């Protein structure tokens, strides 16, 4: 069960504004992606009522259960996939999501290209970089990022908008955010999805254009 979602949302929005001022950035340069995974429509509706329109989900199946109905009831929703995507779920994901933040391997990039050949409109894409080079985590390794960006953008002509990362839990996130920003800058990519409930202010300080905030809005997940 979520806490007081609209109060939490207001507090997060105000912290984002504060972090923007501190970093000398205009407030509108950061998009809040409210991560509603594991929470039901009854917990999401208060956020929609409060005006929030950008949401993140980590599972195709779960999103499929919740969002078609919510889209009927509220206009202007922008849904981001922030969890791993299997290639056999690509066409379903294209139908559901406006942004896919987890383009993390060549096989998936080629699956997107194939869908477009078949006539599909592709969503905006972020490439996930495994900045901590963690065995268990998805994403392109930092030293392979430039080549992968080239493949996606130049060869496959995918609509790559930016980069995303999830830093290791036990490390200083700032180092990972700075690395992600460096890779984006040298490749001319403008969007950076970095920062979650515990570290979104740090993300903003280091140039995040998107922060993915779940528990600070909806409460602890069970
Ligand atoms: C769950 C999740 C988040 C949100 O995490 P919180 O700590 O609850 O803010 C952000 N990004 C990704 C990729 C996630 O899976």
Are the beta carbons of 152 and 189 closer than 8 angstroms?
A: no
Residue 222, pLDDT score: 83
Provide residues with CB under 6 Å of ligand 1.
35, 37, 58, 82-83, 166, 196-198, 212-216
Rounded distance between C-alpha atoms, residue 198 and residue 148, angstroms: 29
Q: Which two tokens stand for residue 48?
A: 């929609």
Find the 165 Cα to ligand 1 centroid distance in Å: 11
Residue 2, pLDDT score: 56
Q: What is the mean pLDDT of residues 175-202?
A: 98
This prediction has a pTM of: 0.97
Atom of ligand 1 nearest to the CA of 216: 9
Q: What is the mean pLDDT of residues 176-193?
A: 98
Asked if residue 1 has pLDDT above 80, the reply is no
Find the 219 Cα to ligand 1 centroid distance in Å: 12
Q: What is the mean pLDDT of residues 150-161?
A: 98
57-107 confidence digits (pLDDT tens):
999 999 999 999 999 999 999 999 999 999 999 999 999 999 999 999 999
Atom of ligand 1 nearest to the CA of 197: 9
Residue 3, pLDDT score: 65
Whole-number percent of the chain with pLDDT over 70:
99
Q: Which two tokens stand for residue 156?
A: 């496959």
Find the 187 Cα to ligand 1 centroid distance in Å: 26
Residue 55, pLDDT score: 98
Q: What is the mean pLDDT of residues 18-45?
A: 97
Which of 1.10.645.10, 3.40.50.1950, 3.20.20.10, 3.10.310.30 is the CATH number of 5-165+183-197+213-218? 3.20.20.10
Bridge partners (DSSP) of residue 100 are: 81, 125
Find the 69 Cα to ligand 1 centroid distance in Å: 23
Atom of ligand 1 nearest to the CA of 101: 13
């Amino acid at each position: 069960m979520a806490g007081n979602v609209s109060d939490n949302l207001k507090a997060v929005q105000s912290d984002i504004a504060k972090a923007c001022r501190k970093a000398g950035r205009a407030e509108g340069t950061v998009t809040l992606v409210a991560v509603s995974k594991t929470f039901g429509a009854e917990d999401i509706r208060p956020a929609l009522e409060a005006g929030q329109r950008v949401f993140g989900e980590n599972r195709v199946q779960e999103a499929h259960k919740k969002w078609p109905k919510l889209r009927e009831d509220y206009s202007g929703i922008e849904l981001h996939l922030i969890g791993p995507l299997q290639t056999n779920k690509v066409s379903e994901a294209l139908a559901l999501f406006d942004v896919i933040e987890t383009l993390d391997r060549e096989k998936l990039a080629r699956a997107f290209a194939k869908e477009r050949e078949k006539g599909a409109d592709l969503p905006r894409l972020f490439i996930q970089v495994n900045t901590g080079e963690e065995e268990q985590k998805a994403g392109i390794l930092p030293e392979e990022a430039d080549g992968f960006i080239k493949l996606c953008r130049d060869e496959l002509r995918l609509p790559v908008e930016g980069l995303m990362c999830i830093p290791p839990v036990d490390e200083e996130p700032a180092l990972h955010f700075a690395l992600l920003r460096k890779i984006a800058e040298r490749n001319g990519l403008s969007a950076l999805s970095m920062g979650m409930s515990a570290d979104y202010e740090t993300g903003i300080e280091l140039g995040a254009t998107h922060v993915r905030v779940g528990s600070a809005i909806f409460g602890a997940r069970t």
